Structures are given as C-alpha cells and as structure tokens.
Amino acid sequence: MSSAHVTPGSVPGPKLAAHFASLEVQKHAARLGMWLFLATEILLFAGLFACYAAYRFLFPEAWAASSRSLDLTMGTINTVVLITSSFTAAMAVHYAKEGKNKMVGHMNVLTLLMAMGFLVIKFFEYKHKFHIGTLPGRYYFYEGIQLPGAPLYFTVYFASTALHALHVVIGMTVLAFATVRAYRVGDFSANNYTQVELGSMYWHLVDLVWIFLFPMLYLV
C-alpha cells in the first residue's frame, strides 16, 4: 500500500495556517464549521418538510393516492444504493486515518459509482413522470389521479427530490476532489485526514436527507 512511502519529511503533511494556535485547533475548527454547515442544510430541507406536512394535512386523499403512484421498487433500490455508499464513504475515512491512500481512493470511487447509479435511477423515475404527466403545478396532466392537491404533491416531490439530487451532485464533486488527492498526492494519514472526513460527513448528510425523503414521499 501507499503507506510504504509515508515517512516523516517525505510527504507534504498537514499545513498549519498562520492564524491557528495548533493543528488540533485547526482540525477542531474545520469540523465545527462543517457541523454548522450541515445544520443549515438540514434546516434548508426542513422548510420543505414543513410544506409537505402542511399540504398533507390539507389534502390527505390526494397525498395518499399520489404517493402510491410512485415506483416503490426504484425508490427502495435507490435507498439501498445510497445507504451502501454511505458505508464506503465511512470506510474511506477509516483508511485515510491509517494512511492507506490507495484504499481511500478506491472507496471514494465506489461511493461515486453508487452516487451515479442513484442519479441514473432517479433519471428513469423522472422520465416516467414526464411521460405520464405527474408533473408539478400547471404542467400536471395525469388522468389517473384527479384530486385537488395532487399537482401540489408533485410540486413538493419534484422540489425536494431535485434539491436532493443537486446535493448529490455537490457531494460527488467534493468526494471527487478527495479522490484525486488520495491517488495523486497521497498525503492522507493519521494526522491529516480532515478533507476525507468532511467530504464523508457531507455525504452522510445527503444520505440522511434521503432517508427522510423516502418514507415521506414513497411510503407515507
């Protein structure tokens, strides 16, 4: 493994920025900043959850009927894919702490592949909806469910899944950076793994949001 060439001095270690007292503080600051950022992300989705709750209360029948029209199989597969990708993201952190840079890269590539798989499945779901007309707001033309509130359900559905998909893409970008660095620079080690850790934290959030969205939208 790449740990063979990890000897003091030969690898560009963690850099201490001039304004921090110590590496310990710097790492603490980075982690705290990420936690705060993740809190804001959860609150961003919380607004959508509030919309969902309010309209589900107003249109219970439309909500139940529309929810049943979603493809539960695809949703379930996607959930499994995403949870598995969270595992590989966590393994990347584990290997980063051991300085096994190649394994960090491999794990991240697996995560990225699963993320791509998730998006592909999502794409087919979207395509099907465009085809049958279960679309948000004024674009709704599905004959199967003619209840007041059904177009609104799909407004909420598309708003939340699209926002989530956007986060998947952002997460993939973040992970891609760590992957490139793991393969090309290979300087992750027991005292320098913040980038992998933060990327993986972000990925867990993407996963977590989906774990809320899935029962909300598919299972009711």
Partner 1 sequence: MTPSSSIAAPGAAVPGHEAHDDHGHHPSYLTDGTTVKSWLLTVDHKRIGIMYMAWILLFFLVGGIFALLIRIELLTPGPTIMDAMTYNRVFTLHGVVMIFLFMIPAIPGIFGNFMLPLMLGAKDVAFPRLNLLSLYVYLAGAGFALWGMLNGGLDTGWTFYTPYSAHTTTTVAPVLFGAFIIGFSSILTGMNFIVTTHTMRAPGITWFKMPLMVWALYATSCIQVLATPVIGLLLLLVTAENLFSLGMFDVARGGDPVLFQHLFWFYSHPAVYIMVLPAFGVMSEVVSAFSRKNIFGYRAVAYSSVGIAFVGFFAWGHHMFVSGQSTFNAGVFGVLSMLVGVFTAIKVFNWVGTVYKGAVEFSTPFAYFCGFLFFTVFGGMTGIAVATVSLDVPWHDTYFVVAHFHFIMVGATIMAFLAALHYWFPKMFGKMYHEGWGLVSAALIILGFNATFIPQFLVGNAGMPRRYYEYPERFQALNVASTAGASLLAFGFIIIAIYLTYALIYGKRVDNPWNSKGYEWLTMSPPPTHNFIGPQPTYPEEPHFYVDPKKAQGEVSDV
SS3 for the chain, per residue?
CHHHHCCCCCCCCCCCCCCCCCHHHHHHHHHHHHHHHHHHHHHHHHHHHHHHHHHHHHCHHHHHHHHHCCCHHHHHHHHHHHHHHHHHHHHHHHHHHCCCHHHHHHHHHHHHHHHHHHHHHHHHHHHHHHHHCCCCHHHCCCCCCCCCCHHHHHHHHHHHHHHHHHHHHHHHHHHHHHHHHHHHCCCCECCECHHHHHHHHHHHHHHHHHHHHHHHHHHC
Q: What's the closest the beta carbon of residue 110 comes to partner 1, in angstroms?
A: 30
- Residue 44 makes contact with partner 1 by CB under 8 A: yes
Instruction: Give dist(CA 34, CA 28) in Å, integer.
Output: 10
- Closest CB to partner 1 among 55 and 87? 55
- Residue 28 makes contact with partner 1 by CB under 8 A: yes
- Residue 51 makes contact with partner 1 by CB under 8 A: yes
Q: What's the closest the beta carbon of residue 60 comes to partner 1, in angstroms?
A: 13
- Using the rule CB under 8 A, give the single segment among 43-51, 102-110, 121-129, 168-176 that binds partner 1: 43-51
> What is the per-residue binding string for partner 1 in 96-135, x denoting contact by CB under 8 A?
----------------------------------------
Which member of 1, 12, 16, 37 binds partner 1 (CB under 8 A)? 37
How many other CB atoms are there within 10 angstroms of residue 67's CB atom? 17
Which member of 1, 16, 43, 185 binds partner 1 (CB under 8 A)? 43
- Residue 55 makes contact with partner 1 by CB under 8 A: yes
Q: What's the closest the beta carbon of residue 67 comes to partner 1, in angstroms?
A: 16
CB contact at 8 A, 83 and 207 = yes
- Closest CB to partner 1 among 45 and 218? 45
- Residue 166 makes contact with partner 1 by CB under 8 A: no
- Closest CB to partner 1 among 4 and 17? 17
Which member of 1, 12, 16, 39 binds partner 1 (CB under 8 A)? 39
C-alpha atoms less than 13 angstroms from C-alpha of 76 in its C-beta half-sphere: 4
Which residues lie near partner 1 (CB under 8 A)?
Answer: 17-21, 25, 28-29, 32-33, 36-37, 39-41, 43-48, 50-51, 54-55, 58-59, 136-139, 148-149, 151-152, 155-156, 159, 163
